Amino acid sequence: MKNLVSTGIRHENKQLWVLDQQKLPQEEIWLPVPDVNTMVFIIKTLKIRGAPLLGVAAALTLAHLAETGANLVTLQHAAMLLKSARPTAVNLMHCVDRMMQVLNENIDNTNRFIAEAENIFDEDVKLCQAMGKHGASLINDGDSILTICNTGGLATAGIGTAFAAFKTAHEQGKRIHVYACETRPLLQGGRLTTWELEKAGIPHTLICDSMAGMLMAQHKIQKVFVGSDRIAANGDFANKIGTYNLAVLAKFHHIPFYPVAPYTTFDRNCPNGDAIVIEQRDPDEVLGVAGSFGKVTWAPIHTKVYNPAFDVTPVNLVTNFVSDKGVGMFD
Ligand code: MRU
């Protein structure tokens, strides 16, 4: 496989590496990924995350296995393991299915299989550029924009989804300010989006998730841009837990609300939001917080916990979708 480098994953000299997002921003540690079990562990523990990047990571893992001599049965088993690593982000399923279709059609052609993973990586970079261009067209000079979770280079192979719109608008010279929700429980906004905004030189402010409504009431937010993990056929979509709250608040305050996602996040086979499987995660994540500083638990350890990783926003709260194809409702 050729060398491929992005913010959160890279393949160099036949070695696959993942930037450990759980250690960011305090430490930048690259983890080697020699086999599928390591990648599945890395995905489950959110050392790599973000819907488009999960798809890219799965494709690169399969190509890496093929490159190092895995046979058909091993690849089929690896594909099954990767698809079951996380249930909500449909990009993961799409990319694995795309790889396995190429395998089935070119059963003795390892080079063709590996080339498909390279295509998936390169395509994602281009999709991000297109989303950035279309998203930035909605952003005015002087806008303050609210976002949640991390939708940047750590969530894609390129410059991101919603984050791509911020980066492109900033590079166009628009004076924007991004308010990043910290995104409890795993703090992708507080740890990762702030890290990326700082690197990009985009003015920003970190807030607790519960502060969004007050900011809107104070007329400090002109737009809300978010990512998505799966968009159902009717336009309902799943994204990081807390997105639905922002959509309701935005509607109440008459603030435009835009999900930004590549075509790989649209799921034609899923009729509506009720059919989206929502990942339930470990209670530990809510009982306290873990980081490179260690683990802090603040609740009594047997406290009953509810920890869905995503929520569903109904399509009637969406102002418009932004995708690589443009701005609009897509069928
Ligand atoms: O649990 P995560 O961190 O993988 O959740 C990520 C998100 O919810 C993002 O908003 C989504 O994947 C789309 S951004 C590229």
CATH number for the domain spanning 104: value is 1.20.120.420
Residue 89 CA: nearest ligand 1 atom is: 12
The response to whether residue 230 sits with its C-beta less than 6 Å from ligand 1 reads: no
Per-residue pLDDT averaged across 233-255, rounded? 98
Domain count, the chain: 2
Average pLDDT value over all residues in the chain? 97
Q: Which of 20, 124, 143, 229 is catalytic?
A: 229
Residues 314, 174 share a domain: yes
The answer, yes or no, to whether any atom of ligand 1 lies below 6 A from the CB of 49, is: yes
Average pLDDT over residues 320-326: 98
**Which mutation among 21, 228, 267 tests ligand 1's pocket best, with the greatest number of atoms within 8 A of CB?**
228
pLDDT at 308 > cutoff 90: yes
Over pLDDT 90: what percentage of the chain? 97
Same structural domain, 222 and 319: yes
Whether the predicted pLDDT of 292 surpasses 90? no
**Ligand 1 pocket: which of 46, 151, 260, 276 to mutate (most atoms within 8 A of CB):** 151
Q: In this predicted model, what pLDDT tens digit does every residue of 167-176 receive, in sequence order? A: 999 999 999 9
pLDDT at 293: 77
pLDDT, residue 290, reads 86
Mind listing the pLDDT tens digit for each residue in 74-116? Answer: 999 999 999 999 999 999 999 999 999 999 999 989 999 999 9
Q: Is 229 in the pocket of ligand 1 (CB under 6 A)?
A: yes
pTM above 0.75, yes or no: yes
> At 331, is the pLDDT very low, low, confident or very high (cuts 50, 70, 90)?
low
pLDDT, tens digit, 9 for 90 and up, residues 183-240? 999 999 999 999 999 999 999 999 999 999 999 999 999 999 999 999 999 999 999 9
Same domain, 276 and 312: yes
Q: Note whether 8 and 101 are same-domain residues.
A: yes
Do 184 and 39 belong together in one domain? no
Look at residue 291 in the predicted model and tell me its pLDDT. Answer: 79
Distance 50 CA to ligand 1 centre (A): 4
Which amino acid residue places its CA nearest to atom 6 of ligand 1? 50
Domain range spanning residue 209? Answer: 138-328
220 and 287 share a domain? yes
Do 142 and 268 belong together in one domain? Answer: yes
Domain contains 53: yes
Q: Is the CB of 52 under 6 A from ligand 1?
A: yes
- State yes or no: is 282 an active-site residue: no
Residue 104 Cα to ligand 1 midpoint, Å, equals 30
Q: Summarize pLDDT for 23-75 with one digit per residue, the tens.
A: 999 999 999 999 999 999 999 999 999 999 999 999 999 999 999 999 999 99
161 Cβ closer than 6 Å to some ligand 1 atom: yes
Q: What is the pLDDT of residue 329?
A: 79
Ligand 1 centroid, distance to 331 Cα (angstroms): 23
Residue 8 Cβ contacting ligand 1 at under 6 Å? no
| 3-state secondary structure string across the chain | CCCEECCCEEEECCEEEEECCCCCCCCCCEEECCCHHHHHHHHHCCCCCCHHHHHHHHHHHHHHHHHCCCCHHHHHHHHHHHHCCCCCCHHHHHHHHHHHHHHHHCCCCHHHHHHHHHHHHHHHHHHHHHHHHHHHCCCCCCCEEEECCCCCCCCCCCCCCHHHHHHHHHHCCCCCEEEEECCCCCCHHHHHHHHHHHHHCCCEEEECHHHHHHHHHCCCCCEEEECCCEEECCCCEEEECCHHHHHHHHHHCCCCEEEECCHHHEECCCCCHHHCCCCECCCHHHHEEEECCEEEECCCCCCCCCCECEEEECHHHCCCCEECCEECCCC
Query: Is 158's C-beta closer than 6 angstroms to any atom of ligand 1?
Result: no
Last residue of a domain, one of 76, 94, 128: 128
Mean pLDDT of 131-154: 98
171 CA from centroid of ligand 1 (Å): 24
| Cβ of 164 below 6 Å from ligand 1 | no
